[in-house]
Amino acid sequence: MKLVMITEFYNFLDEWNELLGFSTPLHHKTIMDFLVSVWTTEPKRGLLMSFRHSGKSTVVGIFAACVLYLRPETRILILSAESGLASRMVSHIRHVLENHPKCSNLIPQTKKEWAQGRITVNRPIGIREPSVICQGVHGNITGMRADLIICDDVEVPNTCNTAQKRDSLREKLRELDFILSPSGAMIYIGTPHTMDTIYRTQEDD
């Protein structure tokens, strides 16, 4: 099952890069392999850290688009330190959906929810939430539901430069467990900005 799934994601990634005139770097396939592992393997939690300008956010956006290609009913929440940062990821996902050859049937004829901060693809009826929506980490996320939560750079200097801010950030992120669907996955992407980083686990102590 996982082998079939990773092949689908590799092909999707390769086709996108070919469309842009690029070959796929090996470390991008490594990142994609990790993302698919989190998406398909319990406990479906993962932290992706990579060197700057490695293209990790680019691959994550392509991964999210491929998730919608394979499972259009998926609800994705993009959470960043500020809503503007999150909307950049949504814009990237929208760009992939609009231009990838595999995704043409996902584009709605009337783009009622096809804006900077939210996307709704063609999918089964009866799903309330958008396919992709973005939010700043301190925005109102109460009542949201998601099958995939991507926390993209929630720890930045403005959210972690004091102990009080770090405690507030951790408290806010605990709410995500109530938003995520029972079988959903949560992926953090980021870089530690302090010794007391939110990315540390109890095993590190």
| Of 81-85, 94-98, 101-105, 148-152, minimum mean pLDDT range | 81-85
pLDDT for the residue 179: 93
- Tell me which of 57 and 65 has the higher pLDDT: 65
151: exposed, middle or buried (Cβ count in 10 Å: 0-12, 13-18, 19+): buried
Q: Which two tokens stand for residue 194?
A: 């302090």
Give the C-alpha separation, 156 to 149, whole Å: 18
pLDDT at 17 over 80: yes
Q: Confidence band (pLDDT; 50, 70, 90) for 142?
A: confident
Q: Confidence band (pLDDT; 50, 70, 90) for 159?
A: confident
Mean pLDDT of 113-126: 87
For domain 2-204, give the CATH superfamily: P-loop containing nucleotide triphosphate hydrolases (3.40.50.300)
pLDDT at 205 over 50: no
**Three-state SS at 202:** helix
> What are the CA-CA distances from residue 110 to residues 24, 105, 119 (Å)?
33, 13, 12
Q: Confidence band (pLDDT; 50, 70, 90) for 204?
A: very low
Q: What is the residue extent of each domain of the chain?
A: 2-204
| Of 26-35, 140-149, 159-168, minimum mean pLDDT range | 159-168
pLDDT at 83 over 90: no
pLDDT for the residue 62: 97
Burial 176-190, CB ≥16 within 10 A → b, else e: beebbeeebbbbbbb
pLDDT for the residue 181: 96
Query: Partners of 77 in the beta sheet?
Result: 133, 149
Can the peptide bond before residue 43 be classed as cis, meaning omega within 30 degrees of 0? Answer: yes
